[in-house]
Chain A
Amino acid sequence: MKRLILFLTIISLLMVCGTAIAETGQKAIEEIRLSIEKSAFSKETKISLLKKVNDAVNAGIQPGDVVIIVNRGMRQNLDGKAIEGFIGIAVKVKNQNLPVRPVLDRMQQGLSKGVPADRIMGVTGMLAEKLSVANTIVNDLIKSGVKAGSGKAKEETIQTVALALERSIPENIITQTGMRVKKHNHPISMFEISIDTMTNLVGSGMRVEQASKLVNKAMDRGYSEKDILRMEREIFSEIKEGKRMEDAARRMESVMERGGFERSHRGMEGGQMRGTSSGMESGSSMGGSDSKSGPGWGGGSGMQRR
């Protein structure tokens, strides 16, 4: 009898909120409903969790993402309240019209890695705040006249700025780079790439001031978005070769002083690459990625051939 009442409550709840659920999400919702029903949670927890799930889907969060959070949370034996808390943060972010993907990704990642629930809650709650600050920074920049591009470009920029803030890059350094972007009449995507490069360099041990100086200088020198990406790669490949971050940064600066970093690629192009790699059969893999990938590029990680 109890089960029947529970079942009916759940069904009626689903029916009330069901109108908003897209057909594609139906299967996912059904999956969540079944797993929640099968769980060891109390009746009350089951109902309130299911309500939270419906809130999330109604707010426009992909049901597939919600399923992952609920299922992984249950597999980690988390409290129903903790899972509700995660979904609550995501719903809040979504309702503020902020990009929700980074928050969902961080939750899914934390749950998969077995991070304790309160830590995930703390980190994602903080991320939500950073997204809100990032949103203001990006909107101000667009209002000041920087071309916004597509909605996707804006969303990506907000995410990148939020990550930069999360890595403790000060807000004023970020807005300074924003002003540089505006000064050189670049679109918002240039801002995104500059901040991303800065974050990656800082994350690998470069001082914030040095990273921002490098990126700003690159813009002053008329570097394109791709040039900045190449600059970042170049620095990382030097680090891999054993250079210290400090030295790699200084070298990059002096290369820029001389007017570009094309020359630094010399001797590493075409011939030598094929030369070294063909002896170890890697030439084929490069050719493979070349033909397979077409416009993009195929790379890989780790050792390619043995």
Chain B
Amino acid sequence: MYKKVDKDDMQSEEYSIIKQCMDGNADIYSVLVERYKGMVYNVAYRMLGETESANDMAQESFISAYIALKDFKKNSKFSTWLCSIAINKCRDHLRSKKDTVSIDEIAEVSVSKIATPEDAACNRQISHDIQTALNELPEEYREAVVLKHVEGLDYNEMENVLGVSSNTLKIRTHRGREMLKKLLRERGISHG
């Protein structure tokens, strides 16, 4: 019961903040930026695989969201809406990058980052490897896995973020997991 109130509580507070932004009090937007920068930045990082672009795309996501505040529907969650903007930014970025970076370059990066079994114990290395593995997933699978397992969203929320039916998202997540298992196994991180 109290948990329910919490959610409504925060949601209505966020509507109030958005309203104030629309009324010209731009400063107050910083509250929302502070609240969700961790989520947006980490989603962007897991989608893009490197911090500089993640930082740029996360910033752009917040700016685009601010510009589009008028399109925000009051019965939706700001975080979900923001997340979908961030995902779109990442897709655009990946698309633009595809034009400039050759396949060879990508392959070289992945090969050079393969870890030895000794390294596997090292957390940072694992984190690095998981990113390399995520980078190798097709975009649709990566989105699904990141939202499901990095951000901990449920399929309903993911449906709102990605605009794809939850059944499709389940399949993408399942396939993403399978691929990830394989990739990690190749790097000597998983069992088996």
Contact = CB atoms under 8 A, between A and B. Distances in A.
What is the interface residue range for chain B against chain A?
10 to 19
A205 B6 CA distance: 31
B23 A306 contact: no
B24 A306 contact: no
Interface string A263-306: 00000000000000001100000000000000000000001001
B16 interface: yes
Interface in B1-22: 2, 5-6, 9-10, 13, 16, 19
A68 to B, nearest CB: 25
Contact of B9 (A205, A240, A242, A306): A306
B16 A240 contact: yes
Interface in A82-125: none
A279 B5 CA distance: 10
Given A205-B23, A205-B24, A242-B19, A306 B2 contact: yes
Contacts of B23: 205, 239, 245
- Chain A residues touching B, majority SS: loop
Interface string B31-51: 000000000000000000000
Contacts of B10: 303
Interface string A66-93: 0000000000000000000000000000
B16 A306 contact: no
Given A205-B24, A303-B13, A280 B5 contact: yes
Contacts of B2: 280, 306
A240 B16 CA distance: 7
Contacts of A242: 19
A168 to B, nearest CB: 16
Nearest to B5: A280
Nearest to B12: A303
A303 B7 CA distance: 12
A279 B10 CA distance: 17
A245 B10 CA distance: 24
Nearest to A240: B16
B24 A303 contact: no
Nearest to B1: A279
Interface in A111-146: none
A303 B9 contact: yes
A243 to B, nearest CB: 10
Nearest to A244: B23
A306 B19 contact: no
Nearest to A242: B19
A306 B2 CA distance: 7
Contacts of A280: 2, 5
B157 to A, nearest CB: 21
Contacts of A306: 2, 5-6, 9
Contacts of B5: 279-280, 306
Nearest to B13: A303
A143 B2 CA distance: 60
Nearest to A302: B13
A240 B23 CA distance: 11
Contacts of B9: 303, 306
A243 B19 CA distance: 10
Contacts of B13: 303
Nearest to B15: A242
Interface string A184-228: 000000000000000000000100000000000000000000000
A7 to B, nearest CB: 47
Given A239-B23, A279-B5, 14 more contacts: A205-B23, A205-B24, A240-B16, A242-B19, A245-B23, A280-B2, A280-B5, A303-B9, A303-B10, A303-B13, A306-B2, A306-B5, A306-B6, A306-B9
Interface of B: 2, 5-6, 9-10, 13, 16, 19, 23-24
Q: Which 6 A-B pairs have the closest CB atoms?
A: A306-B6, A280-B5, A242-B19, A303-B9, A240-B16, A205-B23
